[in-house]
Chain A
Amino acid sequence: MQIIPLFVAIPLGAAFFIPMVGRKNPRLSDTLANFTTLALFIMALSVIGKATEVYWMGGWVPRLGIPIGINLVLDGVSIFMLVTITLISFLVTLYSIQYMDKFTSKARFYSLFLLMVAGMNGVALTGDLFNLYVFLEIASISSYALVAFGGQHEELEASFKYLVLGSVASTLILLGIAITYAMTGTLNMAQVSTVIGGNFQPIHLFTIALFIAGFGLKAALVPFHAWLPDAHPSAPAPISAMLSGVLIKTLGVYALARVLLNIFGMTPLTSYMLLILGTISMVVGVLLCMGQDDLKRFLAYSSISQIGYIVLGFGLGTRLGIAAALFHLINHAVFKSLLFLNSGAVEYGTGTRDLNKLGGLKDKMPVTTATSIIGSMSIAGIPPLSGFWSKLFIIIACVQAERYGFAAWAAGVSVLTLAAYLRLLRRTFYGEPGEAQPAAKEVPISMKLSMVALAALCVAMGLLWMPSAQRTFLIPAARVLQEGLTYASSVLGM
């Protein structure tokens, strides 16, 4: 039994099945959705450490070394992304059991959610450019619908904005793919990279610019970020966690890294573009986040800043830089989803997320407070939490690549992040009790469980840099991206 296509087939099937059986019985849809995401997570854990495997859909294996069908590739980076996606999606579905009770059509929620997971798993696995676009659209369309899930004024407005910018991004990506096909006559990523073979021509620059604009829009890099601070806060909290935690990384950062590093190959120019975009996002994101009065908008701007770190790491192009970027990617997925789930808990407990009305919640909501502190300190880079290690390694990688200026920016932004998060903690959980404090209540068990699990991961994730974990998980992933054009030979088996 091949495991690779199941990563897409299982959530796709469950997305179809849940609304049929779960309409009348919400508990049944809870069980099914949680079971599906847990199964996916276990499957993702089971493939860690495996060598590169290629699955040819429909049995269309390459003839004479020329691929004629669509392939799914399970290599280091794909495994890394699958683990990140399925881990967060499992904890988010666990949280949704009780959080989503206030919405009426839970079965439809799970259906859209699993559709999004199927799309993201597909993006992580695919080895075909057009197939990448199809999966990207599956994930995007379900995320547009999920942002609008509340159906109120702000949700609809945010969703429309997200949809329009997201479609422009998809169109740019499709145009880039079409030009790539016109240049090389193939859509298979491995074969495209063999045909291009690292020879850099002016038309490639145009294609790369299209890909950077398209995937940059999906990843909400500054200056393409305008939709994110509206879309992420308007979605229900579990979806915000999913969007900020994994969607922008899979659809934006991962896809961009795959296309630039494995297909076109890193050139000094693209490396410099990524470094600049990363640094701008890092700085602008944290500066905008400092003035926010809405809890979730604050977190959304902070996501832009942290995405900047990841792109900066990829831009360095060295193995340490890429490994550090991937390390920060999974760390950010964990602590940003934790913080968004916390914001959902605050909203659930008090009915508001306006920082002016909050304050002094630490006695009423002890679990939420404790997990928020861990999450905030991790994102701000306080040792020994996970965020500290990944930021440290990104800065070390900058120094090692002799990019001292970028290292200084990364360190400076980290200080600003700490300041911003201290202000957030003071205004929600400590300080003067706000007007929403008397009625506050702690959240129910499934929400607590998923927040505590994520907080424990924030502490434990630092261990990923231990030599044995690093060797099986992080380094194989970084190697695939860093060795760039050897991707083709490992996929086509030449």
Chain B
Amino acid sequence: MHYALCLALFLVGLYGVMVKRNLIKIVIGLIIMESAVNIFIVMIGYRKDGIAPIMSKVMDPSVFLARSVDPVPQALVLTAIVIGLGVTAMTVAIALRLYEKYGTYDIKEIRNLKG
């Protein structure tokens, strides 16, 4: 169920990127796609009633293994968020420069290149 919702979110983002004509809406579509993938990564490591993956001296290792959530996806998602931030900043910067040059956010009017 959760995974289906996550996929739906991903598809919403993809729809935004592919169909929308406004530069800013395309950027938002990209952000939604990224978030969907990030949520997916976090869900991989999820465990119901899990504990934080911090090992203390008094804890029994086998109990720790049985109960803690997987820390790797959390580390991954932090990196992925930072990378996503960089890409978003770059996209927004270029979108703003395009607006300065063309005076519009509509990609139908920004059409010098044939593709």
Determine the chain A residues whose CB is within 8 A of the CB of B40 once the complex forms. Answer: 175, 178
B80 at the interface (CB under 8 A from A): yes
Closest to A182 in B: B44
A170 vs B115: C-alpha distance when bound (angstroms): 21
20 residue pairs bridging A and B, Cβ less than 8 Å apart: A130-B76, A130-B79, A144-B94, A152-B101, A153-B112, A156-B98, A157-B110, A157-B113, A160-B94, A167-B33, A168-B33, A171-B30, A174-B41, A178-B76, A182-B44, A187-B72, A187-B76, A226-B115, A229-B114, A230-B114
Best-buried of B86, B97, B113 by chain A (most CB within 10 Å) = B113
B5 at the interface (CB under 8 A from A): no
A178 and B97 contact, CB distance less than 8 A: no
Determine the chain A residues whose CB is within 8 A of the CB of B83 once the complex forms. Answer: 134, 137
A174 and B80 contact, CB distance less than 8 A: yes
Known contacts A151-B97, A153-B102; A160/B91 CB under 8 A: yes
A130 vs B82: C-alpha distance when bound (angstroms): 14
Within 8 A of B (CB), among A149-177: 151-154, 156-161, 163-164, 167-168, 170-171, 174-175
For the complex of A and B, 7 pairs with smallest distance between CB atoms? A230-B113, A182-B44, A178-B41, A137-B83, A171-B33, A160-B94, A156-B98
Determine the chain B residues whose CB is within 8 A of the CB of A178 once the complex forms. Answer: 37, 40-41, 44, 73, 76
A226 vs B14: C-alpha distance when bound (angstroms): 17
A348 at the interface (CB under 8 A from B): no
Known contacts A161-B113, A175-B37; A168/B17 CB under 8 A: yes
Does more than half of chain B's interface fall in helix, strand or loop, or is it mixed?
helix
Interface residues of B (CB under 8 A from A): 10, 14, 17, 23, 26, 30, 33-34, 37, 40-41, 44, 72-73, 76, 79-80, 83, 86-87, 90-91, 94-95, 97-98, 101-102, 110, 112-115
Determine the chain B residues whose CB is within 8 A of the CB of A152 once the complex forms. Answer: 101
Interface residues of A (CB under 8 A from B): 130, 133-134, 137, 141, 144-145, 148, 151-154, 156-161, 163-164, 167-168, 170-171, 174-175, 178, 181-182, 187, 226, 229-230, 234
